[in-house]
Amino acid sequence: MGVRMHQQCFLIAVFAALCFANKNETEVGFIKSKEVENLTIFDVYIIRPKKLSNLCGSQLANLALVNSGKNAALFEKTILACTKKRQQNEFLKSLQGSRELPEMVQVVLAHALSVWYPDHENQWKFEMFRKVLDIGSPVLAYLPRSFLFSMEMKQKQKFLFHLEGWTWPTSRSEEWAKKRASVKRLWVAMLHSADPTPLNQFDAQRLQFIDFILTGSTPNEMEKIKLKTAYLQNIILNLPLDPLQARAVFSSSFRNEFSAIPNEQFVQNILPKLTPTQIISLEQNSNREIVTNNSIIGKDVSWASAAQLAYLLVEKAKRDFGHLSVHTVSTLGKWIYAVPNSNLRGLARVIESLPRDEANSLLTSIDSYELDGRQARILASSLTLENALDLHDNLLLALPTARITEGGVLPQNTCAHLLSNLPAESALLYTIFNKVHHQIGQKWVMESMLDGEQGPERFALFISFADVRPIAWQLAELIKASKHDSGWPANFLQMVAHRIRANSTLADWTNYLMSNPKLMMGLTCDDLADLGPNYGVPILTVLGQHVQSTKQKYPENLKKCALLPMLSYLKYRTEILNGKNDNLLDTLYKAEIMSVGGIPFAQLHPLAIQKTKNWAPIVEAIGSLSVIELLEVFIAPGSNSRLLLSQIALLLEGDQKLALSTLDCVGNLFQFLPFTDAMQRNFAPRAIELWLEARDRRADTALCVSSTLRSSFWYRMIVSTYGSLSDWSAGTVAMLGGLLIAVPASKLTHINPVAIETVADQLDANLGYTPEFIKLCERYLGTEEAASFKIAVNSLLEFTLKASNELAAKVVTNVGKEKFRDENQERAHSNAASIIKPISFHPKEKRELNISAISQASRIFNHPMFKFARGKYGPNSSIQREVLQDKIKNKVFKEEKLYCGALKMAKYAATSIISKAHFEALDTSGEFHDCLPYLGTFDVSALIIRQVWDIIVNVRK
């Protein structure tokens, strides 16, 4: 505490000397080189940049790189201190080789480059490009749009030429693909602006240099690329394309030319992302055998694609061997999760017939996080602890709970393996935790539990404050060094943080927090108040930057109280600097606003925002919040959100043409604005199109506006921008996402059916209409408008589920002459295009299987289902209220059969609208029981739980 007080006195003395210095002694007010090492991060937050301007560029760069250069606010302070060209050049030179700078830091630095070196022609020479390409990933990519598009074509070509020479230690295309959509779209626009040559006329050499930029292309743009040679194929097929880009490439280059494929790149990057129709057309028309990498699964592979590939692989194995065999299982590999349970039993018998070592090897090759508990128990029914050590994913769900619970002490290597790899839904978690609880302070236990492959959230909830008390520092250091940036439960972090605070001085505590932002996610309002006025903005900037970079939600505990510490700090800083500025918000720096994020600023009164010179970056920070976060702010007690939206609308009315820069500033607030006739006249379709393409979170296209606005503005805007619905491509449908709610339900069927099939498995995630969003929106709109919104959103979600169901129905199960079945099974397919055969049971199996299903349902649904059977859950007011809603849902859903794969591809839609009619259609298709484990992951009402129970009981009778 004494050292900290000494440093504060030193700073105050410096500023006091500056205030009373003679005009000829201005150097007294500058921080001298020998004094830099005495400065803390908190001191730099307080100091005005001009006090640092006496330092050389390399010293300022070293100051910026404190904490590995991860602090954007600190970076901006040092940048603003570089007022001389020599300093600026030295600053950049010292930053060379700093490749791991956070994106926000690169944005701040790139903006500085556009100010320091505004002359595109004379200041941007080879040496300059060499520097900036060796900083960040690279920092050149984050230059402002206004700077890049103010160039003449010749200068644009120069900037593109040098960017094309950028290198990266690993794959530069994969690194580039991680960037925000807005950055990737900016450089695609630069490419088209600098080179008017159509993409389909680019030669192989040109494509080789710009390949990574093409990862930001829309599916419509990818369709223009023609891969006429093997060399061109190798370039494009090596790119990390998303499913819609991959399908566009296939459609444009391979639809009628199959002889040149498949090659290794096609198998790795394209084939698993195609639709079932595309996969089948390839299989039927190619004169070469389709071979796929059976170890690849991931978020870009939908259930329909996986299922179709699984059937193809089984048919291939049957053609080669004539029956289900070891080769069948090994050929399937990790795609086995898409095989129906009724067919898995035949494959399981093959595995059981093998010697132990061969069986273990085979199980390892098919193990994946996509398997559900029932599939795991079918495939690995005889799994023991001894052979579980080779498994790292969901096959571990097959471990016998009772045997391990009743057993004695487990070997350390077994415990460590299970602690690290047991899935979150495993019933063994608490059992294993209890077996090692007495050793919780040992490093191997903590690391296995909290830093394992499955993430920290599984075991953190079991740890009590009594457990934390003696090992708080070890836990804090583990959290700090962990590979997991997210997934830490707030209450666990809170216990660790409170214990450390209790044993630390305020100075030590705040310094530690600045170095461990993960721990900040567990802070409470009392913790912020405890910090006093001296640390508000530094703590909030590091916290906000962590939240944004890791794509987490702002800590729930701090949402209502983050504003006061920020204002208290600004008042404290102003008093120290003898400032006389009446508006505290004016004293904020832009990077501080960016880093703090929109949550604290959203609590400001709109008049306070309007009066500050920083109103634009503050509005931009609020607009960068997700639509769900904005709704949470809007419905909070005392919210002035509608006044803020009205003020922004008035500002936009004066804009002669709603430019892209305006839309970027307003961000997600744009979707809540009360549009006027004047604003609609100023609306520019191309700006809207570019803005939608640059959305970093596709789910943020969800609309929560009145029915009048949906029809009078949004629908008209969509049609004027994208034309007739029948002409829309899959890329257009995906781009619109949640805005599709503005399209009348009767007109959704006018959309090109080929586009719907292509986008069906991607649409659900792009809509953004999660149960959470729907509930918040209904509260925001009010009772009258909420009813209209619910009808519109249900219609769109039913449309989405129906599209997924039709895609699931296109999975061809009898690709060859024989149908996919075990030679001992006599079940017949009634529909060759169905996904999973109707379930039939032998009389002796029927009761046992249904009891298992009931057990499964009671465990995975967080609801007392057995009470329904005993009659203790008779009709009550909550269920009665839901019955009416259920009748409305039943009227919408008219499909005879519903496939479980459709629910997996449209989970958000299904969770929100699932009803008795859906369950009956699922049962009609014969997939109800196979789908039960997946249904158990839905967060549904008591009425839905009762309907599930009724179907289980009826089948059992």
| Cβ proximity of 697 and 667 under 8 Å | no
| Cβ proximity of 210 and 237 under 8 Å | no
Percent of the chain's residues with pLDDT above 90: 49
Nearest to 890 by CA among 792, 952, 805, 798: 798
What is the C-alpha end-to-end distance of the chain, expressed in Å?
75
Question: pLDDT tens digits for 2-34?
Answer: 434 433 443 344 333 333 333 333 334 788 888
Residue 729: φ, ψ to 5°:
-95, 175
What single-letter DSSP state applies at residue 409? P
| Cβ proximity of 210 and 239 under 8 Å | no
Residue 820: φ, ψ to 5°:
-75, 105
Q: Hunting for tokens 């050499």 — which residue is that?
A: 205
For residue 315, the model assigns a pLDDT of 79
Distance CA 173, CA 170 (A): 9
For residue 477, the model assigns a pLDDT of 95
- Mean pLDDT check: name the lowest of 298-307, 535-544, 552-561, 769-778: 298-307
Distance CA 349, CA 380 (A): 10
Distance CA 301, CA 371 (A): 14
Mean pLDDT along residues 832-861? 35
For residue 288, the model assigns a pLDDT of 62
Angle in degrees, CA 798, 801, 802, rounded to 5: 85
Distance CA 431, CA 437 (A): 10
For residue 235, the model assigns a pLDDT of 86
- Mean pLDDT check: name the lowest of 264-268, 482-486, 855-859, 929-933: 855-859
Distance CA 172, CA 187 (A): 15
| Cβ proximity of 270 and 298 under 8 Å | no
Question: pLDDT tens digits for 70-109?
Answer: 899 999 999 999 999 999 999 999 999 999 999 999 999 9
Element counts in the chain: helices (H) and strands (E): 59, 0
Question: pLDDT tens digits for 656-666?
Answer: 566 788 888 89
For residue 744, the model assigns a pLDDT of 94
| Cβ proximity of 73 and 541 under 8 Å | yes
Question: pLDDT tens digits for 733-757?
Answer: 999 999 999 999 999 999 999 999 9
Give, in order, the Cα–Cα distances in Å from 405 to each of 410, 430, 433, 458: 11, 10, 11, 18
| Cβ proximity of 215 and 239 under 8 Å | yes
310, pLDDT greater than 90? no
**Contacts of residue 353, Cβ cutoff 8 Å, sequence gap at least 6:** none
868, pLDDT greater than 60? no
Task: For residue 66, give both structure tokens.
Answer: 């404190």
What single-letter DSSP state applies at residue 269? I
Question: pLDDT tens digits for 472-510?
Answer: 999 999 999 999 999 999 999 999 999 999 999 999 999
Mean pLDDT along residues 377-384? 88
Burial of 205 (0-12, 13-18, 19+ CB in 10 A): exposed
3-state secondary structure 27-54: HHHCCCHHHHHHCCHHHHHHCCHHHHCC
Distance CA 386, CA 906 (A): 38
How many alpha carbons lie under 13 Å from residue 914 in its C-beta half-sphere? 31
What single-letter DSSP state applies at residue 814? -
User: Is cis: bond before 144, omega within 30 of 0?
Assistant: no
Q: pLDDT confidence of 289, banded at 50, 70, 90?
A: low
Q: Hunting for tokens 């969770």 — which residue is that?
A: 911
Burial of 405 (0-12, 13-18, 19+ CB in 10 A): middle
945-950 long-range contacts, CB within 8 A, separation 24+: 945/861, 945/863, 945/865, 945/868, 946/868, 946/873, 946/879, 947/915, 947/916, 947/919, 948/857, 948/861, 948/865, 948/919, 949/857, 949/865, 949/868, 949/869, 950/868
Residue 218: φ, ψ to 5°:
-75, 160
Say how many C-beta atoms besides its own lie within 10 A of residue 37's C-beta.
Answer: 9
Distance CA 28, CA 213 (A): 50
41, pLDDT greater than 60? yes
| Cβ proximity of 623 and 670 under 8 Å | yes
Distance CA 271, CA 660 (A): 36
826, pLDDT greater than 70? no
3-state secondary structure 332-362: HHHHHHHCCHHHHHHHHHHHHCCCHHHHHHH
Question: pLDDT tens digits for 331-360?
Answer: 888 888 888 887 888 888 888 888 888 888
Mean pLDDT along residues 272-278? 91
Torsion sign (Cα): 847, 850, 854, 860: positive
For residue 292, the model assigns a pLDDT of 65
Give, in order, the Cα–Cα distances in Å from 25 to each of 22, 55, 753: 5, 17, 77
Give, in order, the Cα–Cα distances in Å from 654 to each of 300, 606, 641, 650, 667: 43, 19, 21, 7, 18
For residue 893, the model assigns a pLDDT of 54
For residue 852, the model assigns a pLDDT of 43
Q: pLDDT confidence of 228, banded at 50, 70, 90?
A: confident
For residue 827, the model assigns a pLDDT of 31
Question: pLDDT tens digits for 624-658?
Answer: 999 999 999 999 888 888 888 888 887 777 665 66
Burial of 825 (0-12, 13-18, 19+ CB in 10 A): middle
Burial of 199 (0-12, 13-18, 19+ CB in 10 A): buried
Write the DSSP assignment of 290-328 as a string of letters. Answer: ----TT---TTS-HHHHHHHHHHHHHHHHHHHSS--HHH
Give, in order, the Cα–Cα distances in Å from 205 to each of 197, 213, 220, 422, 832: 14, 14, 22, 48, 46
Mean pLDDT along residues 608-634? 94
For residue 387, the model assigns a pLDDT of 82
Mean pLDDT along residues 932-939? 81
Write the DSSP assignment of 639-682 as a string of letters. Answer: --HHHHHHHHHHHHHT-SS--HHHHHHHGGGGGG----HHHHHH
What single-letter DSSP state applies at residue 739? G
Mean pLDDT along residues 413-423? 90
Distance CA 197, CA 375 (A): 52
883, pLDDT greater than 80? no
pTM value is 0.86
User: Is cis: bond before 617, omega within 30 of 0?
Assistant: no
3-class SS of residue 118? coil
For residue 180, the model assigns a pLDDT of 93
Mean pLDDT along residues 512-526? 94
Q: What radius of gyration, in Å, describes the C-alpha atoms of the chain?
A: 30
For residue 895, the model assigns a pLDDT of 63
Distance CA 916, CA 932 (A): 14
Distance CA 62, CA 68 (A): 10
1, pLDDT greater than 50? no
For residue 23, the model assigns a pLDDT of 35
Per-chain mean pLDDT for the chain: 82
For residue 729, the model assigns a pLDDT of 94
Q: Hunting for tokens 């194995």 — which residue is that?
A: 317
3-class SS of residue 426? coil
Q: pLDDT confidence of 830, banded at 50, 70, 90?
A: very low
Percent of the chain's residues with pLDDT above 70: 84
| Cβ proximity of 391 and 421 under 8 Å | yes
**Contacts of residue 926, Cβ cutoff 8 Å, sequence gap at least 6:** 836, 837, 838, 839, 840
More reliable by pLDDT, 760 or 289: 760
For residue 845, the model assigns a pLDDT of 33
Estimate the crossing angle of helix 928-935 against helix 843-860, to 10 degrees.
Answer: 20
For residue 654, the model assigns a pLDDT of 65
What single-letter DSSP state applies at residue 84? S
Nearest to 545 by CA among 40, 70, 112: 70
Distance CA 656, CA 682 (A): 6
Mean pLDDT along residues 207-217? 91
Mean pLDDT along residues 805-815? 85
